[in-house]
């Protein structure tokens, strides 16, 4: 039974219908064939005496409408196709929620009405579609035995009733703060109306995340006015309060919603900067910076200005908090540490002097001078962090006294190499190369240790050998026996690549067979057949890689890895998505209790907090092409399949850079 052409066998069983013959996709588009099958099932349900049958039929008609309209819109319809596929893949869960006893016909008719209204007018824009699907499905979420939970868009969320109550109280307190600053009643009415709607929305499961975001936006914005320091001009809080109230009112207007949210978010960023600026040591430069921030209250700068200032403050905070007793460091690393601390203080002073100038720069995030200032301040900070990690690795007696780290053998020789490099740190010509050398040593040792201590068990022996090679290469006498750090690093990189491909092949297998974090995320969804087509025979490669690693046949390993990198970018993309989602969620696999309603029934994602939402359309397009690839493979259309594989590979390579932050 093809998921491209029909719903799953489990959904058929829930219908208790005779399973239709698998439709022949032929030259027709797979979404249309699937839509016809769903509509046929809905028609059969219309004649059922089961009270839940109409709701189950409505769900199929909604999925069919998404598939039809998404296909008709071409590339612009990819998000609708993804939503339709998500519903189809999870019809068993939705049928279970829709099934069972209904308290009365009124509730059932309301659910049908919600579904019918949306089916007849699916919005073309993504946010509108998200809201429409929430409106169609929210009553089903209320029927679920537990609140729908899941990854959604992997964004911060309110996780408990206590958190929600605290958010409501904080939002009302923020509104009162705005009111006490003299905002007129007519303008305040918008704030009060917004919070009334948030309270109403919070009582419904599907709307809870949106309510929490609205409240958090208001609370964050008012932080710029809450107990302002004395250097904020007296007239500024009142001007800011009115501006915040107007922005809150704008959120109620669909045409100005994004503008209102943006202004509230910028006030929250400004409030954070005000708090941090108040902790800076006094001086003429700090005074000028504070004057700029004071002027921004009631007259907000563009978001890039606030972002650039926030990045600068992040660097200053990191430099200020990076102190460590040098006695806890390996002795021969201490000269480099002293240089990093001394240079960090000078860099912090220079960056502080530039804060007011950054605030005045029209496009600071692309201004070469601003970027150069930030990079110059980060350089000693990054070296200091590298030295701390390196010292911990070179200490051969970590359980001994903290102020007497012990070195010996390769560790002692590596420390001596760092000491020789530290002599050049102040040199205008060779200082950059000396910093780069120390940081590369630290990075190579960190990567080697990570593979040897927590890597793939089947590569344990190779990882242990690679670690010894790295330590020996950097521990060689760089005057008489240069060693080969490049070859040593390559041995670690080879293990990293093999481990990554083992993970990626397993990740894409789970997409088709279950337990996939990517499938539980709102930005991705594939039919099992599409996942199989995407794998493209990659399953046969991991056993070969492991066998050749065991026999140290590294030329064949490297050749196969290169071919996999070039030809299987979609598999690598799925693996990268899984790794990021695991890191963000703390889960190793998809939780069976996670609900499809968290993916398609929770409303629009938070544009500022949802992971990868800016790549939403391209991800949905990749999923749509994978479905086309599966259909082409089924009908044995090799030219079309080859063209689709090339297109998928190109798109996946680009998306990989976004996922991995490259």
Give the C-alpha separation, 5 to 515, whole Å: 23
| Inter-residue contact 15 to 43 (CB < 8 Å) | no
Give the C-alpha separation, 403 to 87, whole Å: 60
Give the C-alpha separation, 219 to 296, whole Å: 18
Give the C-alpha separation, 54 to 43, whole Å: 9
Helices (H) and strands (E) in the chain, counts: 28, 0
Give the contacts of 57 (CB within 8 A, at least 6 positions apart).
41, 42, 43, 45, 46
Give the C-alpha separation, 491 to 482, whole Å: 17
pLDDT of residue 468: 94
In whole angstroms, what separates CA 660 from the centre of its chain? 10
Give the pLDDT confidence of 580-633 residue by residue, as tens digits: 998 887 776 666 567 888 899 989 988 877 889 999 999 999 999 999 999 999
Phi, psi for residue 149 in degrees, rounded to 5: -125, 155
| Inter-residue contact 135 to 204 (CB < 8 Å) | no
pLDDT of residue 336: 96
Q: DSSP label at 301?
A: P
CA dihedral angle for residue 211, residue 212, residue 218, residue 221, rounded to 10 degrees: -140
Residues of the chain with pLDDT under 70: 1-28, 156-165, 399-400, 402-403, 477-482, 588-593, 662
Instruction: Return the H-helix or E-strand segment holding 114.
Output: helix 105-120
Give the C-alpha separation, 394 to 336, whole Å: 15
pLDDT of residue 14: 36
Instruction: Give 432-497 as a DSSP string.
Output: HHHHHHHHHHHHHHHHHHHHHHHS-GGGHHHHHHHHHHHHHHHHS-TTT----HHHHHHHHHHHHH
Give the tokens for residue 453: 């201590």
pTM above 0.85, yes or no: yes
> Nearest-5° angle of CA 75, CA 616, CA 649?
70
Give the tokens for residue 649: 């590979």
Give the contacts of 160 (CB within 8 A, at least 6 positions apart).
none
Give the C-alpha separation, 593 to 386, whole Å: 42
Q: Which residues sit opposite 594 in a β-bridge? A: 149
| Inter-residue contact 348 to 281 (CB < 8 Å) | no
Instruction: Return the H-helix or E-strand segment holding 465.
Output: helix 460-475
Give the contacts of 592 (CB within 8 A, at least 6 positions apart).
none
pLDDT of residue 38: 96
């Amino acid at each position: 039974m093809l998921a491209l052409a029909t719903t799953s066998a489990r959904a058929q069983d829930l219908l208790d219908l005779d399973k239709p013959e698998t439709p022949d996709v032929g030259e027709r588009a797979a979404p249309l064939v699937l839509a016809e099958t769903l509509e046929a099932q809905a028609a059969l349900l219309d004649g059922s005496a089961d009270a839940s049958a109409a709701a189950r039929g409505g769900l199929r008609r909604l999925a069919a409408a998404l598939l039809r309209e998404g296909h008709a819109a071409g590339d612009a319809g990819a998000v609708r196709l993804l939503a339709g596929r998500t519903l189809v893949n999870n019809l068993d869960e939705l049928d279970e929620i829709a099934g069972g006893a209904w308290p009365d016909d009124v509730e059932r008719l309301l659910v049908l009405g919600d579904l019918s209204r949306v089916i007849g007018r699916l919005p073309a824009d993504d946010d509108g579609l998200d809201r429409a699907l929430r409106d169609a499905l929210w009553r089903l979420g209320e029927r679920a035995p537990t609140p729908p939970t899941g990854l959604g868009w992997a964004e911060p969320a309110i996780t408990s009733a206590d958190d929600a109550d605290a958010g409501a109280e904080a939002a009302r307190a923020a509104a009162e703060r705005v009111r006490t600053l003299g905002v007129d009643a007519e303008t305040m009415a918008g704030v009060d109306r917004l919070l009334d709607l948030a309270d109403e929305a919070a009582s419904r499961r599907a709307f809870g995340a949106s309510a929490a975001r609205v409240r958090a936006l208001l609370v964050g914005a008012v932080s710029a006015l809450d107990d302002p320091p004395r250097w904020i001009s007296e007239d500024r809080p009142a001007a800011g309060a009115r501006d915040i109230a107007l922005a809150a009112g704008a959120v109620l207007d669909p045409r100005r919603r994004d503008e209102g949210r943006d202004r509230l978010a910028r006030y929250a960023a400004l409030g954070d900067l005000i708090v941090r600026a108040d902790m800076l040591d006094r001086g003429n430069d700090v005074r000028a910076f504070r004057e700029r921030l004071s002027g921004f209250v009631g007259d907000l700068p563009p978001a890039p200005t606030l972002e650039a200032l926030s990045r600068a403050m992040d660097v200053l905070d990191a430099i200020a908090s990076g102190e460590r007793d040098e006695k806890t460091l390996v002795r021969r690393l201490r000269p480099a540490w002293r240089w990093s601390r001394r240079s960090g203080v000078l860099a912090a002073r220079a960056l502080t002097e530039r804060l007011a100038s950054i605030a005045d720069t029209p496009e600071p995030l692309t201004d070469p001078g601003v970027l150069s200032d930030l990079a110059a301040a980060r350089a000693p900070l990054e070296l200091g962090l590298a030295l701390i990690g390196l010292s911990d690795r070179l200490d051969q007696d970590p359980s001994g006294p903290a102020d007497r780290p012990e070195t010996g053998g390769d560790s002692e020789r590596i420390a001596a190499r760092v000491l020789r490099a530290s002599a050049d740190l102040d040199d205008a010509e060779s200082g950059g190369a000396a910093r780069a050398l120390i940081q590369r040593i630290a990075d190579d040792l960190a990567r080697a240790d990570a593979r040897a201590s927590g890597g793939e068990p089947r590569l344990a022996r190779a990882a242990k050998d690679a670690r010894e090679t790295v330590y020996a290469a950097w521990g060689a006498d760089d005057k008489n026996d240069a060693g080969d750090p490049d070859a040593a690093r390559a041995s670690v990189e080879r293990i990293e690549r093999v481990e990554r491909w083992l993970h990626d092949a397993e990740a894409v297998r789970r997409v088709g067979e279950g337990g996939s974090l990517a499938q539980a995320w709102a930005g991705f969804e594939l039919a099992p057949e599409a996942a199989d087509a995407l794998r493209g025979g990659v399953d046969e490669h991991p056993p070969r890689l492991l066998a050749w690693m065991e026999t140290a046949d590294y030329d064949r390993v490297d050749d196969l890895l290169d071919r996999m990198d070039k030809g299987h970018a979609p598999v690598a993309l799925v693996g990268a998505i899984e790794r990021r989602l695991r890191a963000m969620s703390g889960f190793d696999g998809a939780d069976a209790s996670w609900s499809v309603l968290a993916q398609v029934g929770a409303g629009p994602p938070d544009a500022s907090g949802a992971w990868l939402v800016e790549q939403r359309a391209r991800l949905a397009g990749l999923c749509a092409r994978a479905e086309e690839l599966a259909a082409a493979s089924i009908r044995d259309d090799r030219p079309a399949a080859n063209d689709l594989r090339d297109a998928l590979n190109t798109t996946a390579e680009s998306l990989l850079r976004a996922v991995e932050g490259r």
